[in-house]
């Protein structure tokens, strides 16, 4: 893995949502991943979805659908204020949806270490995106009974505002109600995909995984996401999509391949 990927977050910053100084020597804020096992599967929690956030204006959507503006505004302190979708009860289109936590990008250091101890560093020893659709597959509403098919401990920190259960990932931030994770919600609205931005004119992006979020009056949420400079992929693909967006940055992640790891190690 490249040294630049590891030059990132020194530790958990118990921030106010107006300012935060994030040191840079650990991996979480790059939102780098290798495969689907790295995404721990959670259900029954509320969450925010920043996967489509970035431009100030409305983004192209599939015919017959629309989306509110979901801007990511960079701050002066290596963070970005991103407007994201909000799911108080974890429901989408009337169904309780699975959402996913990237194990190496949990911003709370203690919770990240707890997850890695229980789930292994790659997430393989807990229910994850790969096993959920593999040997742990749900049958008649029941997940396979196996230790590696249990939800990761981080899921219990995410809270459920609809049921009055607060998030505990940031216990000192009482105004934070939702935690940013990933799900496939709104993939029926946006042009879900992957656009490579390895040589972008603007190399900065927001790594929103497990960022703290405050809901607004419009049914959306504002998340304070740490930023990182390096190659990344935008989770959409449509004609006219550009990596550099004037005055804003994308919420994105970096899919690291085995070739990247071999080239970057010293």
Domain ranges of the chain: 3-118+150-264
The pLDDT of residue 85: 97
Confidence of residue 6 (pLDDT cuts 50, 70, 90): very low
Structural contact between residues 12 and 224, judged by C-beta atoms closer than 8 angstroms: no
The pLDDT of residue 3: 30
Question: How do strand 91-92 and strand 95-96 relate by DSSP bridges?
Answer: antiparallel
Q: State the DSSP H helix or E strand holding residue 110, giving kind and residue range, or none if neither.
A: helix 109-119
Residues 181-221: tens digit of each pLDDT: 999 999 999 999 999 998 767 789 999 999 999 998 788 99
Confidence of residue 27 (pLDDT cuts 50, 70, 90): low
| Percent of the chain with pLDDT strictly greater than 70 | 86
| Percent of the chain with pLDDT strictly greater than 90 | 75
First to last CA, the chain: 9
Q: Is the pLDDT of residue 154 over 80?
A: yes
Between 260 and 139, name the one with better pLDDT.
139
The pLDDT of residue 28: 82
């Amino acid at each position: 893995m490249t040294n630049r990927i590891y030059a990132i977050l020194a530790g958990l910053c118990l921030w106010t949502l107006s300012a935060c100084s994030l040191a840079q020597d650990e991996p979480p804020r790059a939102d780098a991943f290798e495969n689907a096992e790295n995404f721990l599967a959670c259900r029954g929690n509320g969450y925010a979805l920043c996967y489509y956030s970035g431009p100030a204006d409305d983004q192209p959507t599939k015919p017959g659908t629309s989306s509110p503006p979901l801007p990511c505004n960079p701050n002066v302190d290596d963070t970005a204020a991103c407007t994201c979708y909000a799911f108080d009860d974890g429901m989408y289109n009337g169904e309780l949806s699975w959402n996913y936590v990237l194990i190496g990008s949990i911003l709370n250091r203690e919770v990240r270490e707890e997850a890695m101890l229980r789930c292994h560093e790659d997430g393989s020893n807990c229910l994850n995106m790969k096993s959920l659709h593999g040997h742990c597959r749900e049958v008649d509403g029941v997940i396979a009974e196996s230790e590696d098919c249990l939800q990761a401990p981080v899921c219990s920190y995410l809270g459920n505002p609809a049921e009055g259960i607060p998030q505990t990932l940031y216990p000192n931030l009482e105004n934070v109600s939702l935690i940013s994770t990933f799900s496939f919600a709104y993939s029926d609205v946006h042009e879900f995909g992957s656009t490579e931005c390895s040589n972008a004119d603007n190399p900065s992006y927001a790594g929103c995984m497990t960022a703290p979020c405050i809901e607004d009056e419009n049914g959306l949420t504002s998340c304070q996401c740490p930023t990182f400079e390096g190659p990344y992929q935008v989770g959409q693909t449509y004609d006219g999509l550009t990596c550099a967006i004037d005055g804003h940055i994308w919420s994105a992640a970096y899919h690291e391949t085995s070739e990247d790891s071999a080239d970057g190690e010293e």
